[in-house]
Chain A
Amino acid sequence: MTMTMAATGTSIWRTTIDSALVLVILAILPQVVDPYQTVLLTYGLIMAIAALGFNLLLGYTGLLSFGHSAYFGAGAYLVAFITRDLGAHSMELCIVGGMLGTLIIAAIFGFVCVRHTRIFFGILTLALSQVLWSLAFKFFWVTGGTDGIRVPYASLTLLGGLVDFKGGGSFQRFIYAYYYYVLALFAVSTTIMWVIAHSPFGKALQAIRDNETRARFVGISVRRYRWIAFMISGIFTGLAGILWVPLNGLTTPDILYWPFSGEIVFMSVLGGFRSFTGPIVGAMAFNYLKTYAIASTEYWQLLLGVVLVILVMALPAGIVGTAAQLAAKRGRSTK
């Protein structure tokens, strides 16, 4: 099975040029669209990082996690604890602290989960994420319960204190500054994930996905590779949770609850989990889909459900996968 166009022969230069082009477009967009679209794009980029992390397990390792809300939520709550209890204001500090914390949680949860595959793996990840959810929900004197913990963007600084958001009218400034901040981290994350996916380690994961027994015969330590993939996946999703907090303004147990894990799965399936860029496109698309579904009809849950059903029936390869198939077909017919 082919993972990406790039992996099957398209030159690395082509990928670099394409990515650079996309980045330039993303960088220009806030100058032409209204502020709210910039907010939505920021949400989209953040969710794209989460879905990228998730897809290292699903698309590359063949493990369907139904508990990635745990790492997203852990990252988010760690930011809240760092700002509230340690009084820190630096976003970079929150990122480092949050990622370390998420790594520890992912390491522990992963250690338990990778002993199993398929449905058992899925159920285990789900169960463990619900443990975190119930802790956040029940220990309200620590976590604020359903009220969550407020993290006002105005209390944070970016780039080690160079950019702050004190004073009036700071929300507009925050929107733009934070968009570029997230865009930079998105670019870095995507690059790192691309390198991981195309490294020998990434190839080993794909081998495990395609045939576990054969991979073991080749000498790959299957469980250890899965565990490492699990941790990387958790950190990426955790980073997304960290970046999401200042934008949302508070943490709530909803981001630890299982339907949120479902949303991450939805995004990857929507974009196409068989390709590298699928989860990115899926996360952006889902973000718009849900926002505008809620805004336009009280039957938004129904709408999202119908979309999912259509997707599975008509576009099993997702948006990116289907687009690639169409492009390939057209390429053949013109030859």
Chain B
Amino acid sequence: MEQRNVDRRSFLNNLGVTVGAAAAATAIPAMKPASAQTPAAPKGKIPDAPLRLGHMTFLTGPAAVLGEPSLKGHLLAAEEINAQGGILGKRKIETITADEAAGTDANVKELRRMKLSEKIDLFTGVISSGNTPALGPVAEELGALTIFVDGCTDFLWDKAVPNPKFAFRITNIQSADGVTCALAAAQTWPQVKRIAHIHPDYSYGRNAFDHFNIAFSKLVPGTEVVSEGWPKLGTTDFTAHITKAMSSNPDLIVSSVWGGDYVAMYKQALRYGMFNSAKFASTIAFGVAPHAIGKDHPEGVIAGVHANYYFTFPPGNRWPANQRFVEKYYKRWNEYPNFQSDGAYHTLYMYKTAVEKANKLTGGWPEEEAIINQLEGMYFETAAGDLYIRPDNHQGYKDAVTGFSKNVAEYPFQILDPARMITIPIRNITAPPRWPKPGSGHNDPTATYNWIKETWPQVA
């Protein structure tokens, strides 16, 4: 393999890492809103029994500030579809909700209840990466068509469900999150050498840690991890982790703490002056419902959105699907959407599109097999850009984004600066289809980790 010396700037250019305006210039705006297209009359006889959908997300606890918008996105889409008479003009959507905060074991039970007892047609939602690897196999054994909104760990497709049939997932794969954060940090602060980490002590935190490190070390030679902090998920006291990170005298502090945990952490970090003592980069700080971040949040830090979506980008009417979505969402809920809202909302529209396409081919209400066939390989317009469902692992891929925090007068909370958003083409930061999975030829944490290790040049 060719491993010639490259400099950082040309490698980042190779990866297509672009800031702000340039990114949107390459995107071709969809001229006509998908939802406004008048659908052709459905073929065949469609039953008018309502569609029963299950949606599981965090409705209680510190994770709710990130998870609850998922339900709001879902309900908004369901209301819109029902207002048009339902899917294929006949079948209206009924939603059964469940609180993901009940714990993994209770969630397994609940998915079984939804499928066996409530006879749901589609299962959606799920936020935590601790839950999808438990629920994915359950969905497969029940034969329950599932589109996870998040819980985007690589582990789900690498190990837990290597050959999915019924399970899909819409938000970007998790490894892209750590890599995106690393690219943004390397581009912005290439001088950093000493890195401190604070991550939640479960699969997501370790995934972010691993992928940040492998990507960052390829881009910035001679870096060193000087501190690791692993707070338990759902913790509210971060002082020990903050002071530990600060005392290691780092140039950069990297964190994947999320939801209400992050809100608590940044408020405590302000008291200790953590953001003045080092640069700060997060994979998912602004993944919460936007209004959860106060104006006291430090400006100019890398505040990731799980490499998925932030409502201010692309700004204005540059990507009309986003403008429309934000307007409708705000009108309905009197707040702005986060990446889960986008995921859950478009999950339903993607399902609707798949059903309509399958109906054109087969007539009547399509068999589940036909719907699955349409979902596989689907290319779909969302507020976050074009989404592609890869057939080999049923995973949704879209270009990854992250950005910098900024206070502006228009919003009563801090936002990501739309003029400084970083967009990275997804295929440049994720393992291609059929790249060896962990356990077959290598024992790295994920296929993408191995792919970066093997194929990225080391920047001199």
Q: Write the B78-110 contact mask toward A (1 if CB under 8 angstroms, else 0).
A: 000000000000000000111100111110111
- Report Cα–Cα, A158/B252, bound state, in Å: 54
Residues of A within 8 A of B221 (CB): none
Considering only CB atoms, which chain A residue lies closest to B159 in the complex? A150
When the two chains form their complex, are residues A146 and B116 in contact, meaning their CB atoms are under 8 A apart? Answer: no
Residues of A within 8 A of B96 (CB): 295
When the two chains form their complex, are residues A254 and B103 in contact, meaning their CB atoms are under 8 A apart? Answer: yes
Minimum C-beta distance from B235 to chain A (A): 13
One of B130-138, B302-310, B375-383, B411-419 at the interface? B130-138
- Report Cα–Cα, A199/B103, bound state, in Å: 40
Number of contact residues on B: which range applies? 20 to 34
When the two chains form their complex, are residues A290 and B104 in contact, meaning their CB atoms are under 8 A apart? Answer: no
Considering only CB atoms, which chain B residue lies closest to A145 in the complex? B202
Residues of A within 8 A of B142 (CB): 171
When the two chains form their complex, are residues A290 and B117 in contact, meaning their CB atoms are under 8 A apart? Answer: no
When the two chains form their complex, are residues B138 and A35 in contact, meaning their CB atoms are under 8 A apart? Answer: no
Is B155 interfacial (CB-CB < 8 Å)? yes
Residues of A within 8 A of B233 (CB): 146
Considering only CB atoms, which chain B residue lies closest to A299 in the complex? B60
Number of contact residues on A: which range applies? 20 to 34
When the two chains form their complex, are residues A250 and B134 in contact, meaning their CB atoms are under 8 A apart? Answer: yes
Minimum C-beta distance from B208 to chain A (A): 14
Residues of B within 8 A of A137 (CB): 201, 232
Contacting residues of chain A (281-324) with chain B, CB-CB under 8 angstroms = 290-291, 294-295, 298-301
Minimum C-beta distance from B69 to chain A (A): 15
When the two chains form their complex, are residues B116 and A249 in contact, meaning their CB atoms are under 8 A apart? Answer: no
Is B59 interfacial (CB-CB < 8 Å)? yes
Residues of B within 8 A of A273 (CB): none
- Report Cα–Cα, A247/B228, bound state, in Å: 36
Contacting residues of chain B (364-413) with chain A, CB-CB under 8 angstroms = none
* Known contacts A36-B116, A171-B142: A146-B137 contact under CB 8 Å: no
* Known contacts A39-B116, A301-B60: A294-B99 contact under CB 8 Å: yes
Is A43 interfacial (CB-CB < 8 Å)? yes
Q: Write the B210-238 contact mask toward A (1 if CB under 8 angstroms, else 0).
A: 00000000000000000000001100000
Residues of A within 8 A of B203 (CB): 145-147
Is A120 interfacial (CB-CB < 8 Å)? no
Contacting residues of chain B (234-266) with chain A, CB-CB under 8 angstroms = none
- Report Cα–Cα, A109/B407, bound state, in Å: 56
Considering only CB atoms, which chain B residue lies closest to A287 in the complex? B109
- Which residues of chain B have a CB within 8 Å of any CB of chain A? 59-60, 96-99, 102-106, 108-110, 112-113, 116-117, 130, 133-134, 137-138, 141-142, 155, 160, 201-203, 206, 232-233
- A36-B116, A36-B117, A39-B112 given; 18 more Cβ-contact pairs under 8 Å: A39-B116, A40-B109, A137-B201, A145-B203, A146-B202, A147-B202, A148-B134, A150-B133, A150-B134, A150-B160, A152-B137, A248-B108, A249-B134, A249-B137, A252-B105, A291-B109, A294-B99, A300-B102
- Which residues of chain A have a CB within 8 Å of any CB of chain B? 34-37, 39-40, 43, 137-138, 140, 145-148, 150, 152-154, 170-171, 248-250, 252, 254-255, 290-291, 294-295, 298-301
Instruction: Pull 6 A–B residue pairs with CB atoms less than 8 Å apart, ordered by A.
Output: A146-B233, A150-B134, A249-B108, A250-B108, A252-B134, A300-B102
A-B pairs with lowest CB-CB distance, top 6: A36-B116, A36-B117, A146-B202, A298-B59, A171-B141, A294-B102
